Structure 1
Amino acid sequence: MVNLPWQPEYPILTARLALRPHRGSDLDDLLRYHSDPEVVRYIPWPVRTREQTEAAIESRTRQGAVTEEGQWLVLAIQLRDDVGQVDGGRVIGEVLLKFDSEADARGELGYAIARDAEGHGYATEAARAVLDLAFAGFGLHRVIARLDARNRASAALLERLGMRREALFVEDEHFKGEWTDTLVYAMLAREHRPEHIPEAG
């Protein structure tokens, strides 16, 4: 049985990161990657202007809790500073978990990271914390991730998390002007090996 609501005690802390709901003050940090064509190349967002990013933040500030099927938990990935202060660093990305199906106790994982923060394991660290929460806190049976098959960096991240490649759908989406293939990765609760167990409120 899925545990609702999904409303963890924030921030969710990892060794280097603080995961928490977005704030209006995150605008400049989000604009850095929402407006970057390379970051959004495989993500179903457009390259956003400042005004479009303001609208995106406004919706994200209400996505720190999930109460029903179909909703997304959307959390800012914030760097902790050198002495571990929670509010010491900039927001470098976001991590998402969709309550995809109540009957099947299934969630869907997503993430985005600023280009200058890539290559340091931050997205993996954030995604691992959300998987810990999904299984140990929210009671999900299965978590999937869908990605553009050309996105090799994202596939490698999912494999580092221990997720299995389950499917390749050929030219199943007309995405940003072209037909693209979709990969599906998945993990079951019994396959999950938690790094730590965040608290679920």
Structure 2
Amino acid sequence: MSDEATITATEPHAATGLPYAAEELRTERLLLRPLNSGDLQNGHEFERLKDVARYLLWEVHDHDESAEHLRKRIAMNRLAADGDGIVYAVELPDAEGAHGRVIGHVSLFLKKAQWAKFEMGWVFHPAVHGRGYATEATTRLLELCFDTLGGHRVFAQLDARNETSARLCGIIGMKQEALLRGSEIYKGEWSDTAVFAILEDDFRAGR
């Protein structure tokens, strides 16, 4: 067998569900939908709270800066090439299942299509903590990655002091793989970064 044939045979599989255009996703209690221009007040309202902003990777914005930040995130609505991303608003639908109150955001980024590798992130209003909404929304995002997009690996990076997000990673089946000491500056001070990940095999085994 030639070297070329050997390399081809052992190459990792690529993501199979690309390109993917963002669409609404449903769970038992939640609606995940792409961001729109009406989300300025909803997003700014809870992201500026002290307990929420503490671990965000961006600064909390004033109204004008928030509008520009939102426009950039609205444009993130398709996964096709490495670096693309989608940001979803997480809603509590009303009694009829129609659009309701935004309680958080979840995001998904295509890090390397050739290796079917994705990164996910989340932020939720502290008033809804402890009700399982974050678990429900992030689990739905994992289903999108593995069932629709042909994902092999999904990871999350967070400030190592963020115990709430670390617990969520464990609940949805992610395992901590690394602790990168002094790797990022969060709000003006050096902080450690924890890396959590889940593989497709882990996801299937946990169902």
TM-score, reference length from structure 1: 0.90
Long gaps (5+) in structure 2: 1-13
Q: Indicate whether 1:4 and 2:15 are aligned.
A: no
Which of 40, 44, 58 is 2:71 aligned to?
Answer: 58
Structure 1 runs, 4 residues or longer, greater than 4 Å off: none
Q: Is the 8 A contact 2:35 2:73 kept in 1?
A: yes
Equivalent position amino acid for 2:87 in 1? V
Partner SS state of residue 115, structure 2: coil
Q: Is the 8 A contact 1:129 1:195 kept in 2?
A: no
CA distance in 2 between partners of 1:95 and 1:85 (Å): 20
**Which residue matches 1:32?**
45
How many pairs were matched up? 193
Q: Indicate whether 1:45 and 2:58 are aligned.
A: yes
Q: Normalized per residue, which structure has more helix?
A: 2
Q: How does 1:64-83 map to 2 (within 5 A)?
A: 64-81=77-94, 83=95
Q: Indicate whether 1:85 and 2:97 are aligned.
A: yes
CA distance in 2 between partners of 1:195 and 1:66 (Å): 26
RMSD over equivalenced CA pairs, Å: 1.7
**Which residue matches 2:185?**
174
Partner SS state of residue 103, structure 1: helix
Q: Is the 8 A contact 1:128 1:195 kept in 2?
A: no
CA distance in 2 between partners of 1:104 and 1:129 (Å): 21
Q: Is the 8 A contact 1:27 1:54 kept in 2?
A: yes
Equivalent position amino acid for 2:142 in 1? L
Asked which structure has the greater CA Rg, the reply is 2
Q: Is the 8 A contact 1:35 1:49 kept in 2?
A: no
Q: Is the 8 A contact 1:20 1:64 kept in 2?
A: no
Percent of pairs identical after alignment?
A: 36
Long gaps (5+) in structure 1: 197-201
CA distance in 1 between partners of 2:139 and 2:37 (Å): 26
